[in-house]
A and B are shown apart, each in its own frame.
Chain A
Amino acid sequence: MEIELAKVDSIIAKHGTDQRALTSLLLEIQDEFHFLPQAALERIAEKMQVPAIQVYQVARFYKAFSLKPRGKHLISVCAGTACHVQAGATLVEKVGQLLHIVPGETTEDEQFTLETTNCPGSCPLGPVMIVDGTYHSRVTASQVEQIIQQRRAGKEATLHD
């Protein structure tokens, strides 16, 4: 995949090449490209003058980072304890059935990526599902379908309990 290295360079210039900047740097690269392209990781290693494996290791280790391209819409279902005991797992199944993907996968049309998150800290309103940064609380399996349909139609869902 071809990426604009100029964008990578300007992000590197902003954060500097000290190793302590690596996490912030990778987070911003991911914001830009929705994942961490290999060419960007190699560029960072070159500028930081560290072996590429060192950058790859960090990119591979932390949960925030994805080395695979992600879809246009990111669906995160909370798999935290409070949501889990309130049947959060059925939401993952429901999304999976509707989109034919399991957590970590992206739909063939590159529209949706499904992920589970450990806990976004909205426990009193679980089960919680976050779609493109919008929190949906006390989500039921039937609402999942509605939320996805609205996203597909390009509308921001405004569903609450």
Chain B
Amino acid sequence: MTRLDTAAELDKHRETILQARSTAPRRITVCGGRSCATQSDGLQTALENALKQSGLAAQAQVVVTGCPGFCEQGPLVVIGPERILYTKVTPTDVPEIVAQTIGQKAVVERLLYQDPQTGKRIVHESDVPFYKEQHRLLLKDNGIIDPTQIEDYIAQGGYKGLARALAMTPESVVQEIKRSGLRGRGGAGFPAGLKWETCRQAQGDVKYLICNADEANPGAFQDRSLVEGNPHSIVEGMIIGAFAIGASEGFVYIRHDYPSTVEIMQQAIQQAGEWGLLGKKILGSGFDFDLHVHLSAGAFVCGEETALIASIEGRVSEPVPRPPFPAEKGLWGKPTNINNAKTWASVPHILSHGADWYAKLGTEKSKGTTVFSLGGKINHAGLVEVPMGVTLRHIIYDIGGGIRGGKKFKAVQPGGPSGGCIPENLLDLPVDYESLTAAGSMMGSGGLIVMDEDTCMVEVARYFTDFNRVESCGKCTACREGVRQMHALLTGITTGQGKAGDIELLEELGQALKDGALCGLGKAAPNPVLTTIRYFRNEYEAHIRDKQCPAKVCYQDAAGKE
């Protein structure tokens, strides 16, 4: 590959790729996402062998993609160009798929998704309610592109946003992001454009960018799926950000225990460099930017910017008080802009389609789309992307297909261990930063766990408090001691040792943490406890007063002996 030296060369190259594709064989895409891959090993080889044996090798090409999100029905195989969706595919289904669909252009009925409501089998991916009810922007190309091939990203319009940005002034790129209304997708929702502007205006000879793709949040897999499914969307977003802010070096922070994710990102960075999209004189401009992967060794507190910075510097990831904010004094004391992977991946869309187009999506204060990892007691667990402002009910019932096993819904929890549990009477709450915060929860970084009638809310609060207790870095007393005490009280309540006054004490401790903790981990740690007290106080009272667990989860052994 020779490097691209102008935006026109990029366009020309895209045309060449698309032209070659117009006569290319059909694409059979196999989901290589984490959930499917645990079961789909061997599908690619089986398909390739079957094509060869049937003399159909010239008719179709097998491509492994990232996660398109319909995990519950995996392993998924999709056949283009019409995108026929086959679910729960095993290697034994392969000969029939090849003979019927590739050989005869017929559909294998039994492998199609069956709508549980109507009993009807659905042929095309886009007609399945799980996909139809979503609005996909960041996840649009997951399941279509081969993440190891930059050509696939370029064919989908990739790097158009960068070409447009390079034709603008850095200040006007910052203004474009401000105008789009994009807010940080790491959970806190700080306006991205304002953050960029602060960093751009900060004094410093060197500036850095960081992409937080660490995803230490239990119950969330959307950032991982984004990196694995469409790494160049993050790379392009960061290059645009670097140009706008004036940064020369960037880091993508990824969990060390996701080796395949790390490899895909490293490969994307290398390819972008070879194509002249990273490194010196990007797309023939006077702008240079280098990007590296930095391995994280696992610490939930790294969701806090200053803790993440300490981790990249090779120190213990303890947060420090802000201000100064990283935008002024960050990595190695230099101005640094940190955004979540989904924030960075939103940037190319804003630049290629324009801020006004983006700002039409979502609500007045929360623009664009948001991605959730839908999990727990739900029929269609998987990756979901919706415009901001849709209701939780829409996500859980229309997209997620409702509660598994016909059980009764009890609560839904966005925001992981920092989020609050939302009860049934608030299911029509719109999903946006302000509404979720007002309900005592938060948008969070993307986990959305559904709980049914068999879940004990006190036990859930104890579980999250235990998580926060272990993950507290221990630097500030409020968090280190406060979370520990809350955990001790909750453990008491769930083992039959609860006393009158425990609920009030939990509330008091929770408030003290919100007021006194140094960073977001400690400030948000009481959320699961305070919301379960607020919405499910009767469950706490039953444990304390009647020594009973209404969901029959807690102290079952003790009860059995009576």
Q: Per-residue CB proximity of A35-62 to B under 8 Å, as 1/0?
A: 0000000000000000000100110011
Residue in contact with B467 in the complex, picked from A23, A24, A118, A137, CB distance below 8 Å: A118
Q: Per-residue CB proximity of A80-115 to B under 8 Å, as 1/0?
A: 111011100000000000000000000000000000
| B372 CB → nearest A CB, Å | 11
**Once A and B bind, how many residue pairs between them come within 8 Å at the CB atom?**
127
Beyond A80-B219, A82-B375, A118-B300, 5 additional pairs, beta carbon < 8 A? A23-B256, A58-B316, A121-B225, A122-B38, A123-B373
In contact, A65 and B297 (Cβ under 8 angstroms)? yes
19 pairs, A vs B, C-beta closer than 8 Å = A18-B314, A54-B315, A63-B299, A81-B218, A84-B218, A118-B216, A118-B218, A118-B298, A120-B258, A121-B34, A121-B215, A121-B225, A122-B35, A123-B221, A123-B373, A124-B35, A125-B35, A135-B34, A136-B38
The stretch from B181-189, B198-206, B422-430, B447-455 touching chain A is B447-455
In contact, A27 and B297 (Cβ under 8 angstroms)? yes
Residue in contact with B381 in the complex, picked from A58, A80, A124, CB distance below 8 Å: A124
- The 6 A-B pairs with the shortest beta carbon distances in the complex, nearest first, are A80-B218, A81-B219, A121-B221, A124-B71, A62-B297, A82-B375
Considering only residues 1-60 of chain B, those with a C-beta below 8 Å from chain A are 34-35, 37-39
In contact, B316 and A57 (Cβ under 8 angstroms)? yes
Residue in contact with A85 in the complex, picked from B220, B299, B455, CB distance below 8 Å: B455
Contacts of B373 in A (CB 8 A): 123
| B419 CB → nearest A CB, Å | 10
Contacts of B216 in A (CB 8 A): 118-119
Residue in contact with A124 in the complex, picked from B72, B314, B317, CB distance below 8 Å: B72
Bound together, the chains give a CA A123 to CA B34 distance in angstroms of 9
Bound together, the chains give a CA A35 to CA B295 distance in angstroms of 17
Contacts of B215 in A (CB 8 A): 121
In contact, A64 and B35 (Cβ under 8 angstroms)? no
List residues of chain B with CB under 8 Å of any chain A CB. Answer: 34-35, 37-39, 71-72, 74, 215-221, 224-225, 256-258, 294-300, 311-317, 373, 375-377, 381-382, 413, 416-417, 447, 449, 451, 455, 460, 463-464, 467, 473
In contact, B376 and A64 (Cβ under 8 angstroms)? no
Q: Total interface residues on A, using CB and 8 Å?
A: 38
| A77 CB → nearest B CB, Å | 13
Bound together, the chains give a CA A121 to CA B72 distance in angstroms of 14
In contact, A125 and B71 (Cβ under 8 angstroms)? yes
Bound together, the chains give a CA A27 to CA B358 distance in angstroms of 41
Contacts of A126 in B (CB 8 A): 375
Considering only residues 6-28 of chain A, those with a C-beta below 8 Å from chain B are 18-24, 26-27
A117 close to B (CB within 8 Å): yes
Known: A123-B219, A160-B38, A160-B39. A61 touches B312 (CB 8 A): no
In contact, A19 and B313 (Cβ under 8 angstroms)? yes
Nearest opposing residue in chain B for A27, CB measure: B256
Contacts of B256 in A (CB 8 A): 23, 27, 64
Contacts of B311 in A (CB 8 A): 23
Nearest opposing residue in chain B for A22, CB measure: B314
Bound together, the chains give a CA A21 to CA B381 distance in angstroms of 38
